[in-house]
Amino acid sequence: MEEKTNVCQQQPEEVVVIVGAGPSGLAVAACLAERAIPSLILERDDCISPLWRKRSYDRVCLHLTKQYCSLPHMPHSDTTPTYIPKSEFISYLDSYAERFRLRIRFRRRVESALYDQKLGRWIVKARSGDVLEEYIGRFLVVAAGENDQKFVPDVNGLDSFKGVVIHSSEYRNGAAFKGKDVLVVGSGNSGMEIAYDLFEAGARCSIVVRSTIHIVTKEIWSFAMGLMKYLPMSIVDNIILFLCYLRFGNTAKYGLRRPDIGPMYMKCYTLMYQVIDVGTYDRIKTGEIQVLPSLTSIEGSMVTFSNGKTHHYDAIIFATGYRSTIRQWLETDDGLIGKDGMAKNNYPDHWKGQNGLYCAGLNRRGLYGSSEDGLTIADDISKAYNLSTHANGVKSDEKYKSV
């Protein structure tokens, strides 16, 4: 096998280099395009938004109304469903990239990004197959997302399991699990929705719930998003909890304990998200979906839980999330990105670092946050870019005519 080369093929200088062609990266690039500032997106995969296109299950829909799920300068049409299904959202992203003529280079895995103090530029090295390429940019936007590398916990005896073991990123629908005993590990949105999908497909499903969770409806959450424009977060959280009690009652009776902090505060300031119920809760109440505590060990097809009970399963689906890999290639310690690969500072001071470094979509605010980051970052880059070009007496289109 031919060895990969470490000799860099230098590319023409860019104004802005963006890492990641998900919604956040697209939003920044489009907002820059509206300001006539060129940019180049480097994407590891072979398509726009691979998380949505390749690693999401068939039934997934956006949990917020479409008004909170559009990217800048391109609202959804009147004919778009209120809650957008996966296929329509992917089509929207494709149209978005085409409308703003975004420049994207696919199959570019970024290996390092370092600011050169002498040059005053970011040096980004990305591998395309066996070729290592070097990109130089005045500005660098990190938009690689939080859902990068799938995470499966280390469970004693997992290697001995006789059945099917997959991560939620590999799950599409429950057709192959009809009539089987399936354990879903993880009670976030993916885990709860996959459990319901399995139930509808005729599987006998159990779900591991280790932590406290805030379960809400999409209608309640969308209503709360609107209230945030007018009311303090603490009041909005109280309203959410009141409405949730009217809808769900005491969820703790069924193994779903709520956290001590409110759901909106939790989403904005912790690592946890609210769970949007799609019908799972009613199946839990009837016992058709069983809630179990953390698993402790596996032997063959038998799984033992922290309550001492053991159950047989034909398949285990780990809906245990992802880990960011940004800190593996971003070589800076300016405090913009934390150890977990997310924005270190809380909103609204999360998006800007030093030396022209920015991050988009890394503050756990979903598509609404990606859209806001795109506008904010593009505005800031525009000011710095125009200031520098005017100071040098060079027009932007002349200075970067190679872009």
Tokens of 387: 């200031």
Spatial CB neighbours of 164, under 8 Å, sequence gap ≥ 6: 314, 315, 316
pLDDT tens digit string along 348-382? 899 999 999 999 999 888 899 999 999 999 999 99
Question: Which of 318, 348, 375 finishes a domain?
Answer: 318
The pLDDT assigned to 337 comes to 93
| Confidence check: pLDDT of 297 > 60 | yes
| Confidence check: pLDDT of 275 > 80 | yes
Number of domains making up the chain: 2
The pLDDT assigned to 402 comes to 35
Any idea which of 279-283, 325-329, 330-334 has the lowest mean pLDDT?
330-334
Calpha distance 300→53 (Å, rounded): 34
Tokens of 164: 């099917």
CATH number of the domain encompassing residue 38: 3.50.50.60
pLDDT band at 315 (very low <50, low <70, confident <90, very high): very high
- For residues 150-158, average pLDDT: 95
- For residues 264-286, average pLDDT: 93
pLDDT tens digit string along 62-79? 998 999 999 999 999 999
- For residues 94-106, average pLDDT: 98
Asked if 253 and 219 sit in the same domain, the reply is yes
**Contact assessment for residue 221 and residue 276, using Cβ atoms and an 8 Å cutoff:** yes
Asked if 86 and 166 sit in the same domain, the reply is no
**Contact assessment for residue 205 and residue 195, using Cβ atoms and an 8 Å cutoff:** yes
pLDDT band at 334 (very low <50, low <70, confident <90, very high): confident
Kindly state the DSSP code that residue 255 receives in the 8-state scheme. T
Cis peptide before 348 (omega within 30 of 0): yes
- For residues 186-211, average pLDDT: 97
The pLDDT assigned to 403 comes to 35
| Confidence check: pLDDT of 157 > 80 | yes
CA atoms 219, 221, 227, 231: torsion sign: positive
Question: Helix, strand, or coil here: 360?
Answer: coil
Asked if 34 and 81 sit in the same domain, the reply is yes
Helix ranges restricted to H, 107-164: none
Calpha distance 24→14 (Å, rounded): 19
Asked if 294 and 160 sit in the same domain, the reply is yes
Asked if 297 and 154 sit in the same domain, the reply is yes
Any idea which of 2-16, 105-119, 167-181, 368-382 has the lowest mean pLDDT?
2-16
Asked if 284 and 359 sit in the same domain, the reply is no
**Contact assessment for residue 367 and residue 71, using Cβ atoms and an 8 Å cutoff:** yes
Asked if 155 and 255 sit in the same domain, the reply is yes
Q: Is residue 1 part of a domain?
A: no
- For residues 214-228, average pLDDT: 95
Calpha distance 265→262 (Å, rounded): 5
pLDDT band at 389 (very low <50, low <70, confident <90, very high): low
Asked if 268 and 132 sit in the same domain, the reply is no
Calpha distance 245→214 (Å, rounded): 11
Mean of per-residue pLDDT scores for the chain: 93
Helix ranges restricted to H, 201-279: 218-227, 233-248, 263-269
pLDDT band at 3 (very low <50, low <70, confident <90, very high): low
- Residue 17 domain boundaries: 8-148+324-399
**DSSP code string of 261-286:** S-HHHHHHHSS---EE-SSHHHHHHT
| Confidence check: pLDDT of 169 > 60 | yes
Calpha distance 196→281 (Å, rounded): 9
The pLDDT assigned to 399 comes to 41
> What does the buried/exposed string (b/e) look like for 45-71 if buried means 16 or more CB atoms within 10 Å of the residue's CB?
bebbbbbbbebbbebbbbbbbbebbbb
Q: Is residue 33 part of a domain?
A: yes
